[in-house]
Amino acid sequence: MHIPTVAELKTEGKSPEILFFVGCAGSFDQRAQKITKAFATILNKIGVNYAILGKEEICNGDPARRAGNEFLFQMMAYQNIQLLNGYEIKKIVTTCPHCFNILKNEYPAIGGNYEVIHHTVFLQQLIDEGKIKMKENGSFKGKKITYHDSCYLGRANNIYEAPRKVLEALDVELEEMKRSRSNGLCCGAGGAQVFKEEEKGKRRINEERTSEAIETGAKIIASNCPFCMTMLTDGVKSNGQEENVKVIDLAELIAESME
C-alpha cells in the first residue's frame, strides 16, 4: 500500500487535512498492523486527504507516563509537539484509544493543541455523511456480535454510542455483555499493565473478560483498541474458543463490509 507521509506532501507544497497517528502497536504488532491497513484502506477508498508521519513518528509517551516515568514522557511529548507544530497539524485520527486519550487530554497542557478523533467516531461520521456505504448483504449482516468498551475510549472519554452506531450500520445483532458501557470491565492491559508482570490472583482479567464475551453466544468480539485486541485474543485462546470466536476491530469490520 502506498500511504503518503507528511514530509512527502510538504515537498509538493501540500498538507494533509488529517494526520493518521499510527502508534506503536499499529506500527509494530503484527495483529494491530492489520487494523492499520484496514483503516488506511477505508481512507483510500473514500478519498480522504490524509498522511502519516512515517519514520518521523515516535511513541507519544503514554506507556512511559502510565508506568511512572514522567521524565521520559516529557521528552517524547516535546519531541512530538515540535514535529506536529512544525508541520502545522490541526487534526489527528488514531486507531488506539491510548494515543487518542493522551494526545487529546494531556498534550494541551504542554503546548500540543489539536483536534483529536478516535477512529470509531471518525467512521461513524463518515457513515452519517454517506461517504461510507455498506454492501447490501455484507459479511456480518445478522451476525451475533458483542462489543468490548475499552477503558480509554469509554470511561476515560465517555464515548459509548459511536462504536455501537458503527455496528448498527453493519446490521449486526449486538449482544451486550453483562458488564458494558460505564460498567465495562478492563481487558487487563491499560495503565501500562500490559508491560509488567501481573500480581497473583485467582484469575487473569483478560480471561474473566473474554468469558463474559463468550457467554453472550456471539462468535465475534468487536474491539476498538490494539491492547484490548491482544488481551481478548489471548483470553479466547485460554478459554479454548479460538476456532469459534474471533476478535475483530471495527475498522476491519467496516473495510470488509463497505462497497
Are 68 and 95 contained in the same domain?
yes
Decide if 130 is inside a domain. no
Residue/partner pairs of 129-138 with CB below 8 Å, 24 or more apart: 131/46, 132/42, 132/46, 132/169, 132/254, 132/258, 133/258, 133/259, 134/169, 134/170, 134/171, 134/257, 134/258, 134/259, 135/257, 135/258, 135/259, 138/170, 138/171, 138/256, 138/257
Decide if 181 is inside a domain. yes
CATH of the domain at 51: 3.40.50
Nearest to 174 by CA among 156, 193, 161, 191: 161
Query: What residues pair up with 249 in beta bridges, in sequence order?
Result: 223
Decide if 1 is inside a domain. no
Nearest to 61 by CA among 88, 32, 101: 101
Are 194 and 220 contained in the same domain?
yes
Q: What percent of the chain stands above pLDDT 70?
A: 100
pLDDT-derived band at 23 (thresholds 50, 70, 90) equals very high
Domain end (from 68, 94, 124): 124
- Per-residue pLDDT tens digits for 167-208: 999 999 999 999 999 999 999 888 778 778 878 888 889 999
How many domains does one find in the chain? 2
160 contacts 154 by C-beta, under 8 angstroms: yes
Are 189 and 245 contained in the same domain?
yes
Are 39 and 104 contained in the same domain?
yes
The pLDDT, as a whole number, for residue 56 is 96
Decide if 129 is inside a domain. no
Q: Which grid cell sits at 160? A: 459509548
- Per-residue pLDDT tens digits for 29-39: 999 999 999 99
pLDDT-derived band at 84 (thresholds 50, 70, 90) equals very high
CATH of the domain at 186: 3.40.50.10700
- Per-residue pLDDT tens digits for 44-80: 999 999 999 999 999 999 999 999 999 999 999 999 9
- Least confident range from 14-23, 189-198, 211-220, 247-256: namely 189-198
Q: Is the dihedral of CA 52, 113, 42, 164 positive or negative?
A: positive
The residues near 2 (Cβ < 8 Å, ≥ 6 apart) are none
Provide the domain limits for residue 90.
6-124
Are 190 and 103 contained in the same domain?
no
Domain end (from 84, 99, 124): 124
Are 53 and 145 contained in the same domain?
no
Are 26 and 90 contained in the same domain?
yes
Q: What percent of the chain stands above pLDDT 90?
A: 88
Q: Looking at the predicted structure, is the pLDDT value of residue 81 above 90?
A: yes
Domain end (from 69, 94, 124): 124
Are 62 and 18 contained in the same domain?
yes
